[in-house]
Structure 1
Amino acid sequence: MFQRFPFSSIGLALAIASASGCQLAEGNPQIAGALTQSVAEAPPDTLAAAATVSDSLRLTPVLPLPALSDSLRQAVQALHAALGPDAAGLRPEVLERACVGYLALRHAGRIKHPSVLAVADMDLPSSEQRLWVLDLAAGHVLHRSHVAHGRGSGHLRAYRFSNTKHSACTSLGFYRTEDTYGGKHGLSRRLHGLDAGQNSNAEARYVVLHAADYVSAAYLQGHGQAGYSRGCPALPPDQYRAIIKSLPQGSCLMLSGPGMESKWLNGAVAAQQLAAHGWH
């Protein structure tokens, strides 16, 4: 059992976590789990978006997008079937939202690299491979991997999300990949949030794609789940380089989770783009 902080000490516990940086809870399920459990005990009006049982394995339902044309919905269904067993864990409703956003962003010229789409279903537990990089035109899964969520977002599953600096939370929504650089984690790729108010502080928060030991096979085997980042979708050390290179500057990434909203989920624009240009 994790140690439970009394509600009166939540502020102190979170202040210690913030002051200590990633070393306190990043990659440490027991400490971060305790902090998360304490926060989960706060009154409903304090954490209205929090799930009642954050680590329940019952996934949050994703409703089909309304007013989506039959042709577009059928195209997404055909794509899901073509992707095969590697995409069996990618929920059709999540893929549908990712594809609609990708097409709408292509139509608006906000993403430049055609046919490649990365989707992370952050509602799935971090013990599962919940990131897919897809070649839409070829109907092929390029990569599938584990991916970490921020230590402020939950324990086994992410249920709290924030665009706020120093929140250590994952931010949901659509991202455009930017340039790469060599950081303390090695090769890293910057991300630009495309959803105002939801992930628009990604660059200011230094939310990037990078490798992390707490997403390694050895860590997962020893702890039964991935550890925690400070908000970055951190990747396994044996896959990060290939994944980062498969998402050139101008590619599309969607981080999906409970409560995600986006102006790019525009079915009419997406259908227009698909009809004119296909998945390219």
Structure 2
Amino acid sequence: MKQFLLVLSFVAMTGAHKQPDNGPASPRAALRSVQDPTPGDRLRRLHAKLRDPDLDATVLAYALRGHQQLRTSGMLAKEHILSILDYTLSANRPRFFVIDLEKEIILYKSLVAHGKNSGLEFADKLSNRIESLQSSLGFFVTGETYQGKHGYSLRIDGVEYDFNHHARVRNIVIHEGRNNAGEAYVSKAFIHRLGRLGRSDGCPALEPEQCKAIIDAIHGKSCLFAYYPDPDYFQRSPVLKPF
């Protein structure tokens, strides 16, 4: 944890704020179109130790900044757990990462569905609106588990006004990606059959094989960061703005 805090301190001191460009051509290219925190050597070492080519260093840097803010605000109980959902990646690739910051390892990596009104293969329309059937971006704190219509599920609370604070009212929860017929729509088999992952009503639905283990690891006030390079978000984010 001491080494992790040093990383956060270094990122905070060296963050170079670059104004976002409007209308980036592709989600992944847009990573460099918003404020680039210029992580520095220590963060690069942490990123290298995690050893995952799909986990972008810029996304990790923002996630760590927000985690620090939530931690110092007393909002986290599981301070060693950080989950990242990267909406710049194709839904056909695993883009949900669960990181143990003390052990500096990725505990889980899963396919994850986005809302049916957020896009097909890529999520490019994100919203906090009730009944939008779209995914939301920004920082969340995980809540309690429960048994619902999707089985074992996890409530999450959006902590960023205008961007995700309606999450609980919208019933945005983490659950396994199965439809009413019991078919896993968050699976490689579904992608092979239809050419893309299935979609949810706005929830981050996970692979059924991993869902319970992930929920057990992250429930009870850990940090979840859903990333997308929205210029308005990076100008007004209540969590990232203090930096």
Task: State TM-score, norm by structure 2.
Answer: 0.81
What is the aligned partner in structure 2 of residue 255 from structure 1? 226
- Report what 2:203 is aligned to: 232
Aligned partner of 1:75: which letter? R
Alignment deviations for residues 141-200 of structure 1 (CA, whole Å, 9 cap, x no partner): 000011011011111101111100110010000000000000111100000001111000
- Residue 123 of structure 1: CA displacement? 1.4
What is the aligned partner in structure 2 of residue 184 from structure 1? Answer: 149
Counterpart of 1:120 in 2: which secondary structure? strand
Correspondence 1:80 to 2:47: yes
Indicate the RMSD between aligned Cα atoms, in angstroms: 2.2
Contact 1:59 1:124 in 2 (8 A): no
Going from structure 1 to structure 2, the CA distance change for 1:51 and 1:156 (only over 3 Å counts) comes to farther
CA 1:170–1:227: 2 relative to 1, 3 Å: same
Distance 2:187 2:205 in 1: 10
Give SS of 2:154's match. strand
Report the count of equivalent residues: 212
**1:65 CA drift (Å):** 4.5
Q: 2:122 aligns with which of 154, 157, 172?
A: 157
| Aligned-partner SS, 1:149 | coil
Per-residue deviation, residues 213-253 of structure 1 (Å, max 9, x unmatched): 21023212212321111110000111101111110210010
Letter in 2 for 1:242: A
- 1:6-51 alpha-carbon deviations (Å, 9 max, x no partner): xxxxxxxxxxxxxxxxxxxxxxxxxxxxxxxxxxxxxxxxxxxx96
How far 1:52 moved relative to its partner?
A: 8.4
1:204 lines up with 2:169 in the alignment: yes
Instruction: For structure 1, list consecutive stretches of 5 or more residues without a partner in the other structure.
Output: 1-49, 269-280
Contact 1:65–1:97, Cα closer than 8 Å, also in 2: no
Unaligned runs of 5+ in 2: 1-21, 178-183
What does 1:47-62 correspond to in 2, within 5 Å?
Answer: 59-62=29-32
- State the 1:258 CA deviation: 2.6
Contact 2:24 2:33 in 1 (8 A): no
Q: Is the 8 A contact 2:27 2:88 kept in 1?
A: no
SS in 1 for 2:201: coil
